[in-house]
Chain A
Amino acid sequence: MHPFTPLLTTFLPVLYALSVAGYVRIYVAEPGTSEGSTSQRWGPMLLRAAVVVHILYLTTRGFTEGHLPLASVYDFLSATGLALAAAYLYVETRGGIRTTGVFVLPFVFFLQVVSSAYGQGAGILKPRIQPIWFELHTLTAVLGYGAFTVSAIYGILFLLLYHDIKANRLSFFYRRMPPLETLGRMNVSAASAGLALLGLAICMGVGWARLAGVHLLADPKTWLTIAAWMVLAFSVLAYHRLGWRGPLAVYALLAGFSTLILSRFAVDLFFHSFHTFR
Chain B
Amino acid sequence: MIAVIPNADALDLFCVGLNHETSPLEVRDALVLNDEEVALAIRALRERGGASEAMVISTCNRTEVYARGATVENPHAFVAEILREIKGTDLTGRDARFLYTYREPDSVRHLFRVACGLDSQVLGEPQITGQVKDALSLAGRLGGSGPVIERLLDAALRASKRARTETGIGRGPISSAYAGVSLASKVLGGLADKRVLVIGAGEMAGLAARHFVDAGVTRFMVANRSRERGEAFGATISARVVSLEALPVVLPGADIVVAATSAPDCVVTDATVRNAMKIRKNRPLLFLDLAVPRDVDPLVARLPNVFLHDLDALGVLVAQSLAQRRAEIPKVEAIIEVEVSRFLRWHRSLAVKPTVTAFRGHFERIAREEMARHKGRFREQDQAALEALVHGIVQKLLHHPTTRLTRADQDGRDGIARIDAVRDLFGIDPEEEDPNANR
| Chain A residues at the B interface, C-beta cutoff of 8 Å | 30, 32-34, 37, 165-166, 168, 170-171, 174-175, 177, 179-182, 185, 242-248
Contacts and interface: CB of A to CB of B under 8 A. Distances in A.
Given A32-B168, A32-B171, A179 B307 contact: no
Contacts of A181: 187-189, 284
B186 A165 contact: yes
Given A34-B331, A244-B282, A166 B301 contact: yes
25 contacts: A30-B327, A32-B324, A33-B171, A33-B327, A34-B167, A166-B307, A168-B309, A168-B313, A168-B316, A170-B317, A170-B320, A174-B186, A177-B186, A179-B186, A179-B187, A180-B187, A181-B284, A182-B189, A243-B281, A243-B282, A243-B283, A245-B281, A246-B282, A246-B284, A246-B304
Given A165-B183, A180-B188, 16 more contacts: A33-B168, A33-B171, A33-B327, A34-B328, A165-B186, A168-B312, A170-B183, A170-B320, A177-B186, A179-B189, A181-B187, A181-B188, A181-B189, A181-B284, A182-B189, A245-B305
Contact of A179 (B188, B324, B328): B188
A176 B48 CA distance: 57
Interface string B271-290: 00000000001111000000
B185 interface: yes
B172 to A, nearest CB: 6
Interface string B412-435: 000000000000000000000000
A38 B167 CA distance: 12
B245 interface: no
Given A166-B307, A170-B316, A245-B305, A33 B187 contact: no
A175 B327 CA distance: 16
A179 B313 contact: no
A30 B282 CA distance: 33
B306 to A, nearest CB: 9
B85 interface: no
Contacts of B283: 243, 245
Contacts of B95: none
B166 interface: yes
Interface residues of B, number: 29
A247 B303 CA distance: 12
A10 B49 CA distance: 77
* Chain B CB within 10 A, most for which of A165, A168, A177: A168
Contacts of B304: 245-248
Nearest to B313: A168
A30 B169 CA distance: 12
Nearest to B317: A170
Contacts of B312: 168
A166 B172 CA distance: 20
Contact of A30 (B183, B301, B324): B324
Contact of A246 (B171, B305, B313, B331): B305
A175 B320 contact: yes
A34 B329 CA distance: 12
B245 to A, nearest CB: 27
Contacts of B307: 165-166
Nearest to A243: B281
A180 B324 contact: no
A262 B72 CA distance: 86
Contacts of B313: 168, 170
Interface string B311-338: 0110011001000100110010000000
A117 to B, nearest CB: 41
A33 B320 contact: no
Contacts of A180: 186-189, 284
Contacts of B301: 166
Contacts of B331: 34
A165 B288 CA distance: 13
Contacts of A165: 183, 186-187, 307
Interface in B3-17: none
A185 B283 CA distance: 12
Contacts of A32: 168, 171-172, 324
Nearest to A172: B320
Given A243-B281, A244-B282, A245-B284, A33 B328 contact: yes
A38 B327 CA distance: 18
A33 B167 contact: yes
A160 B185 CA distance: 17
Give the top 6 A-B pairs by smallest Cβ distance, nearest first: A243-B281, A33-B168, A32-B171, A181-B189, A179-B189, A245-B282
A12 to B, nearest CB: 35
Contacts of B168: 30, 32-34
